[in-house]
Amino acid sequence: MGKAFRLSTEFMAGILAGAGLGYALDTFAGTRPWGMIILLMLGFGAGIWNVMRASGFTRPPAPPPDRPD
């Protein structure tokens, strides 16, 4: 359950961030509705990317091995 919840919030956060950025861009740059449309789609991409990273589907570059000391 913890894992499923983690993945769903990752996906949701990507979309929310995209939508929020698009809305801010539209409000300040006056590009309504294109900023929202494009950034929402990119937000979907970012959400899926988040999920893939969180589920270990794409292995991020391994952290450097700890030096024993």
Residues interacting with other proteins, by CB under 8 A? 2, 5-6, 9-10, 12-14, 16-18, 20-21, 39, 42-43, 45-47, 49-50, 60-61, 63-64, 66-67, 69
State yes or no: cis peptide before 33, omega within 30 of 0.
yes
Q: Which C-beta is closer to other proteins: that of 26 or that of 49?
A: 49
* Cα-based angle 64, 67, 68 (whole degrees, multiple of 5): 150
Q: Which C-beta is closer to other proteins: that of 30 or that of 63?
A: 63
Minimum CB–partner distance for residue 69 and other proteins (Å): 8
Using the Cα atoms of residue 22, residue 25, residue 27 and residue 30 in order, give the sign of their dihedral: negative
